[in-house]
Amino acid sequence: MMGSFPVELELEDDEFAKLIRRLNPPRVVIDNDSCGDATVIRVDSVNKHGILLEVVQVLTDLNLFIKKAYITSDGSWFMDVFNVTDQDRNKVSDKDTLSYIKKSLESDVCFFPKMRNSVGIMSSTECTLIELTGSDRPGLLSEICAVLATQMCHVVKAELWTHNTRVAAVLHVTDESTNGAIEDPKRISRVKELLGNVLKGDNDPRMGRMAVAVGVTHTQRRLHQMMLDDRDYEAVDAKEAGEDKSRPQVTVMDCLEKDYTVVILNSKDRPKLLFDIICTLTDMQYVVHHGTVSSIKEEAYQEYYIRHVDGHPINSERERRHLIRCLEAAIERRASEGLELKLRTDDGIGSLSEITRVFRENGLTIRRAEISTQGGKVVDTFYLSETSGNPVDAKTIDSIRRQLGQTILSVKQNPLLPSKPPEMIAEMKNNFELVVKQGEPALVPPAEETEKGLYFLTNLDQNIAVIVQTVYCFKSGDKGNEEAVKVMKEALAKVLVHYYPLAGRLTISNEGKLIVNCTGEGAVFVEAEAGCEIEDIGDIAKPDPETLGKLVYDVPGAKNILEIPPLVAQVTKFTCGGFVLGLSVNHCMFDGLGAMEFVNSWGETARGLPLSVPPFIDRTVLRSRNPPVVSFPHHEFAEIKDVSDSETLYQEEMLYRSFCFEPEKLESVKKKAVEDGALDKCTTFEALAGLVWRARTEALRLQPGQKTKLLFAVDGRSRFEPPLPKGYFGNGIVLTNSLCTAGELLARPLSFAVGRAQDAVRMVTDEYMRSAMDYFETTRARPSLTATLLITTWSRLSFHTTDFGWGEPVQSGPVTLPQKEVILFLAHGKERKSINVLLGLPSSAMERFQELMEI
């Protein structure tokens, strides 16, 4: 199927619109001072559909990396802020680049083009553009290049994407005899005919498409349009996509009270990700009215409030699913799996045909390609895998080098490694495999009518919206587990009357924050059975997601926390008469103390007792100040550059271990912390925190100049003025921090690290905590975990006293650690005087850490 480029003319603005633009020209402010690790670019302009894409396009065409963005374009005004860095993740300091950004973004040509088509084609005699879409197959690019070579067409620039068995390519070709565009109509027709035969493919129901024109285009935007028109999003089965957690996670939902559709995207971060998303939304005729973009290490989070260009939100399930698939495809098209090869060789007719022929003969498939000519040299980048989908081995690379002769070839990633880093795997205690049969999930609503509507979450809640999974093991000598499910379920319904927000669902407020919609639909409850005795699961003193994860219910297909109910419970019965309660709770609902009070209240209800600590539901006592007042430097949010390349170390197998510190050993650590006289005294927590901070830093082999951060939570309930009410239902903890270099931390004695922990504790006052809440209010920043140790302490929480009528749990603990940077302090032993230190480290680092724990 052949055609021509679509042309979309913009209507001439009326005279009033012209006047508004003349009175309010675009304004760009570039700030290299206010942010420590990025250049801040603020853009203000009269609003018009497509402006956001134009701005993002200018920035990404300069290969700038957009770390954060805040988008506001409601009504007639466009106001956006972008935090950008160069390719090395440094601030943009080049004066020519900064000048180009300002001139380009303030240009009327950028913001208010008079007449242009949807891909920016302009008249030119320099080259001929060839667009191709069709079914992908091994050797396709080689066949295309061979045809062009026989027709004396020289490929000077090209880009090819493949996705879901489809392929799209834009090739810039010249006439070999004139070095200009191909002008002979008969010759163009012949090229069309030959390439059309190549694209006919293997009985493809969607015939290949092709277009030829003279001109230039924004290649990457055009590739998105071509693949969207080719329906590349249809190839993935929706059910399979939902089960693959490595794929981008896209959620589309209605915004309460406002006439918006909310789009939330979570994916691996990469260059030009924002461009790919905005390009697709724009081409699908959606307008972004508000948005937030952030990236932390390798993870990207994007949130948009959109409407169709006609002013209406998405109003059908079909349209919602269509948008999700299109956005997933937009993210995946540029994602590169397999081996990245860069080649630099002499330019010449047929050189590209020869290179792609060598790839095909070595059994390689081209997943993506970028082809250009620079100074008489061909500079190409190919992303390759074996036709079978396996990674390319070293022997194949050597074969390619031999066949391409003097070609300069560089391998971007190790061909001996898989294309994706190995998943973190837990160290197994033994060969025992727990088999659990789960029943169908049921909803348990409150036993009585409860309040409905939106329930406020504080800024302290917003910062720790992660899922925490815990298990409680019960076995009584007096009774079996026959009534366990019935008792637990009925008691849950009753206790939810007091804790009714747990029966609601998380959503997004008008301010773009998490909020609970108190629908009363209920918590999720699952009954399960294990074909073994409770003793078979062994000691759960350390996290073991492989085994313990089967005792907690995961909501299938949930792509983000908005799709997971705040409270999910599973009761698993064992053959011995014991049972395990597995809980999955969102941390934004309460901290450790609040969770403990809830579980104990549930147990009291199961035993027919009144609540000893009724929940204090009103969280508005912790609203941020108006206006916000940030009176402290909040280094807990500071992003640290990983100069030690510790992410490479984390590609090793992860080992999870627990280290028990009995009272005698704890006393020994405290004595060592004060033996040099630098400190008069210290608490057990401060001594242990300093010890593990130093040990983990040394075990990870951080460079002396590497900044490292200690983070831990301090209970602020008694530190607020006035103190929080008893039974406060929410997060009353505040993160505090200490920051220094690894070299300083390891060169100084233990007292230095312990002293830094002491200072961090003392820093937490009423003013500090309110400043932290106000800091989030103004920045929406979240704590960065690069080169960071985050300590969570449960050593003072009395989960061991929970009793549902079967006595206290024989053991309890977390299923896994929420992040690799987290270390958990957990009370241990019958008298709860020992502390278990639970953590996960790469295998080589764990060996060294274990040596350092020998005190």
Catalytic residues: 587, 803
* Measured distance CA(178)–CA(814) in Å, rounded: 71
Kindly give the residue spans of alpha helices, DSSP state H, lying in 335-431.
Answer: 351-361, 394-404
DSSP of 488-525: HHHHHHHHHHHTGGGGSEEEE-TTSSEEEEE----EEE
DSSP of 420-436: SPPPP-PPPSSS----E
Specify the DSSP element, H or E, that contains 569: strand 567-573
Tokens representing 173 are 């070709």
Closest CA to 232 of 319, 338, 333, 130: 333
User: Measuring CA to CA, how many Å separate 645 from each of 38, 73, 134, 649, 822?
Assistant: 20, 39, 41, 7, 19
* Residue 475 · residue 534 · CB < 8 Å: yes
* Measured distance CA(536)–CA(644) in Å, rounded: 41
* Measured distance CA(504)–CA(17) in Å, rounded: 46
Residue 224, classed as helix, strand or coil, is helix
* Measured distance CA(358)–CA(146) in Å, rounded: 12
User: How many angstroms from the chain centroid is the CA of residue 98?
Assistant: 29
* Residue 300 · residue 267 · CB < 8 Å: yes
* Residue 498 · residue 615 · CB < 8 Å: yes
Closest CA to 59 of 110, 10, 21, 114: 110
Q: Is it true that the peptide bond before 722 is cis, omega within 30 degrees of 0?
A: yes
Specify the DSSP element, H or E, that contains 210: strand 209-214
* Measured distance CA(555)–CA(586) in Å, rounded: 13
713: phi > 0 → left, psi -120 to 50 → alpha, else beta; which?
A: beta
- Residue-level length of the chain: 855
Closest CA to 81 of 48, 120, 40, 135: 40
Closest CA to 339 of 386, 274, 292: 386
* Measured distance CA(240)–CA(282) in Å, rounded: 27
Phi–psi pair at 409, nearest 5 degrees: -125, 130
Q: Which amino acid is at 387?
A: T
Rg (alpha carbons) of the chain, rounded to whole number: 30
Closest CA to 55 of 114, 110, 92, 113: 110
Specify the DSSP element, H or E, that contains 459: helix 459-462
Residues paired with 467 in a beta bridge: 586
